[in-house]
């Protein structure tokens, strides 16, 4: 795959994204999990137009020069709000009502990015999100995790687990990737999963998940496993996934990997999140 991914970094004001896919296991169905304890859950119940639960999520703000993304991530409910029907809607718009300034000048788009840093971290478990992703050239939704120690050790030493990323020019395909010291950016370790018969991920909700254990991370879509990664895949580089990670959801616009929107891209575009859950095996 010809991708120009750079890097994801912890922002808290400006953050970035990256990955590369490689060969993986043939798709199989995930084994049923034993009794599990829910350690984090958000079903996004609440009044239409209200914000996310601040005890679970914080909203990042700013632009992202590292990947040359085009959006400005805003606070409040303009770009991230509940719909009153049990969903979170993260919306990318072609607008700049706040006169936000981006790395390239006056920002052309707004969107939102949420994380659980300082509110929730996990070390191992089943991490999943049920989402309906947007579509269109230059649109880049993601559900992913960063090591909580990123503020101390930086990226990619912190480690990054990309549960799901999609770029709009691949409507039938999502990617799952690991980044760490010696395997970051375009050297990330991962694979792609493609829906059969030309189906598009934007047409319906799908469940994107990882099963994360010591020395093993397995990715699945709707219960179908498409890759497992272990320290043996890292070419002698260090495995940095045995520590707390926090969750991130965002909807980027443009950047090196997806390319910029063009005349075929309609706005607004929405990443609709039905549920995010983290469980540990019983």
All structural domains of the chain, each given as residue ranges with its CATH number in brackets, are: 38-49+115-279 (2.60.120.200)
* 273/282 Cα distance (integer angstroms): 26
Alpha helix (H) residue ranges in the chain? 150-153
Q: Which residues of 8-45 are buried (b: 16+ CB within 10 A; e: fewer)?
A: bbbbeebbbbbbbbeebeeeeebeeeeeeeeebebebe
Query: Closest Cα partner for 28 from 219, 240, 276?
Result: 219
Residue of 69, 108, 160, 170 with catalytic role: 160
* 136/98 Cα distance (integer angstroms): 25
Indicate the pLDDT class of residue 266, thresholds 50, 70 and 90: very high
Name the helix (H) or strand (E) containing 274: strand 269-281
Model confidence over 89-125: pLDDT tens digits? 999 999 999 999 999 999 999 999 999 999 999 999 9
> How open is the CA angle 192-196-197, to the nearest 5 degrees?
135
Q: What phi and psi values does residue 152 have, to the nearest 5 degrees?
A: -95, -40
Query: Closest Cα partner for 196 from 217, 219, 226, 173?
Result: 173
Model confidence over 154-213: pLDDT tens digits? 999 999 999 999 999 999 999 999 999 999 988 999 999 999 999 999 999 999 999 999
pLDDT of res. 10: 39
- Tell me which DSSP letter residue 93 carries: B
Query: Closest Cα partner for 111 from 132, 145, 151, 138?
Result: 138
Model confidence over 204-256: pLDDT tens digits? 999 999 999 999 999 999 999 999 999 999 999 999 999 999 999 999 999 99
Q: Which of 9-23, 181-195, 262-276 shows the lowest per-residue confidence on average (mean pLDDT)?
A: 9-23
> How open is the CA angle 85-89-93, to the nearest 5 degrees?
140
Residue of 128, 165, 170, 275 with catalytic role: 165
Distance, CA of 273 to chain centre = 12
pLDDT of res. 1: 32
Active site residue 170: no
Percent of the chain at pLDDT > 70 equals 87
């Amino acid at each position: 795959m010809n991708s120009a991914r750079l890097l994801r970094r912890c922002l808290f004001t400006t953050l970035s994204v990256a990955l590369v896919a490689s060969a993986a296991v043939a798709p199989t169905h995930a084994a049923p999990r034993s009794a599990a304890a829910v350690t984090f859950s958000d079903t996004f119940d609440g009044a239409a137009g209200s914000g996310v639960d601040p005890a679970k999520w914080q909203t990042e703000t700013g632009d992202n020069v590292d990947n040359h993304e085009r959006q400005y991530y805003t606070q409040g409910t303009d770009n991230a709000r509940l719909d009153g029907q049990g969903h979170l809607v993260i919306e990318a718009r072609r607008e700049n009502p706040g006169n936000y300034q981006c790395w390239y000048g006056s920002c052309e788009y707004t969107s939102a990015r949420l994380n659980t840093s300082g509110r929730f971290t996990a070390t191992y478990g089943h991490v999943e999100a049920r989402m309906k992703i947007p579509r269109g050239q230059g649109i880049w939704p993601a559900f992913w995790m960063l090591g909580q120690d990123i503020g101390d050790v930086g990226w990619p030493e912190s480690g990054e687990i990309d549960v799901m990323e999609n770029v709009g020019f691949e409507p039938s395909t999502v990617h799952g990737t690991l980044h760490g010291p010696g395997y970051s950016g375009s050297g990330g370790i991962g694979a792609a999963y493609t829906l059969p018969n030309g189906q598009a991920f934007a047409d319906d909700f799908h469940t994107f998940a990882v099963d994360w254990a010591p020395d093993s991370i397995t990715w699945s879509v709707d219960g179908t496993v498409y890759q497992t990664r272990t320290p043996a895949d890292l070419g002698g580089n260090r495995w940095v996934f045995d520590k707390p990670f926090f969750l991130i959801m965002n909807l980027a616009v443009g950047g090196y990997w997806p390319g910029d929107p063009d005349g075929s891209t309609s706005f607004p575009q929405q990443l609709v999140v039905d549920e995010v859950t983290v469980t540990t095996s019983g």
